Amino acid sequence: MDSPTLAACALLGRTDEQRAYQAALRGFCDRDIAPHAAAVDRGERSLWESYRALGRAGLLAPAYPEALGGGGGDLTMVAIFMAELSRACAATALSCGASTLLGGMTVLRFGTDAQRARWLPVIARGDAVACLGLTEPGAGSDVMSVATRATRDGDGWVLRGAKTFITNAAVADLHIIVAVTGESAGRRTHGMFLVEKGTPGLTVGAPMRKLGMRGSPTSEVFLEDCRVPAAAVLGDPTQGFAQVIFPLNHERAMAPAMALGILEGCLERCIRYAKERVQFGKPIAAFQAVQFKLARLRADMVLLTALLKDVIAGIEAGRDMRVEIAAGKAFAGEAAVQGALEAIQVFGGYGYIEEFEVERALRDAKLLELGAGTTEIQLRIIARTLLGDLVG
């Protein structure tokens, strides 16, 4: 999908290494992912073919240490990864991000040397898939209401509970499960546990039928007297809630990257179509109403790029970026949905047809307003910094 515009995704790269990675990944996506995105959406092709191919190409884990099979890069590389995949196929981006970022990066941050050596190389190669089991039927936005329990039993733990809306659960080799482990000072403590596929007591529901991101499997997870050894504890078994903020913040921080990729895909299609579609004797690109829609898409991409760079710089500098992350995610979801709607409008009636693919962008973009904390939750985070305890 060649475009005369300067690709916003490319603007993320600051170093020669980052730009080289972006170029290699874009080439891979144009060749091996984008042509199959519609088939992935319809369930006619598995995105895991691309996942494994990305691993074989050394593109799947840009921020893992080289010694553990990764690219040795930074968060900018992760942002490029999420943006480029989203441009080609947002469902593929979602599942790859859930495995390598929510799963693998959490093991990298909190795991022991043995846990890292066990899981990170196989994830980086595309030979294993990970998922994060946090959300429950009664604990969505209210994550402190997690009810899944982990009880000490001899030299191990027994997990009991259920999770829902878990990306990749249906195919995951590794489930990172968040569970209540006890109480301290009148408050519940939480832990994170590495539960391998095939562990007795671990069962997974069938993939849910969804509005968008259809190629990325989302399922329930059930834990019935699921026994894991002490070596399965990830980090501190009393600090699981504090630990889970790490992958949540990174997932939210990467929302602008996903929105950026979705909007770039829409803009490229719109430019090409607006030049080819003739009405009243001229290409519709000659009409100001269409020009403004294309310009708005590009303007939002510029803003998303600036947001993303600011958030990444703040995280890398160790600053408290809660407000910026929340603001970025809220804006990303709304910009992606509105941008996809405008893309459909550029295409007119054809935009409503699957063949032209912009309707899929709208269905996929909606998840950015819901997943990893709704837009309203992000605004609540910001309001709390303004109003303190008045925000319940």
Read off the tokens for 337.
Answer: 């949905």
- How far is it, in rounded angstroms, from Cα 111 to Cα 384? 32
Sign of CA dihedral 124, 85, 140, 300: positive
Read off the tokens for 140.
Answer: 């969505």
- How far is it, in rounded angstroms, from Cα 90 to Cα 245? 24
User: Which one-letter amino acid corresponds to residue 176?
Assistant: I
Known active-site residue 324: no
What is each CA distance from 15 to 10, 28, 71, 91, in whole angstroms? 11, 20, 14, 28
- How far is it, in rounded angstroms, from Cα 180 to Cα 161? 10
Q: How many CB atoms lie within 10 A of CB 47?
A: 25
Dihedral over alpha carbons 80, 86, 91, 93 (to 10 degrees): 0
What is each CA distance from 9 to 32, 170, 272, in whole angstroms? 18, 31, 19
Which residue in 220, 251, 264, 359 is the catalytic one?
Answer: 251
Q: Which residues pair with 234 in a beta bridge?
A: 192
44: left (phi over 0), alpha (psi -120 to 50) or beta: alpha
**Rg of the chain on CA atoms, in Å:** 21
Q: Which residues pair with 221 in a beta bridge?
A: 163, 204
Please state the φ and ψ torsions of residue 173, each to the nearest 5 degrees.
Answer: -90, -25
Please state the φ and ψ torsions of residue 127, each to the nearest 5 degrees.
Answer: -90, -10
**Enzyme catalytic residues:** 251
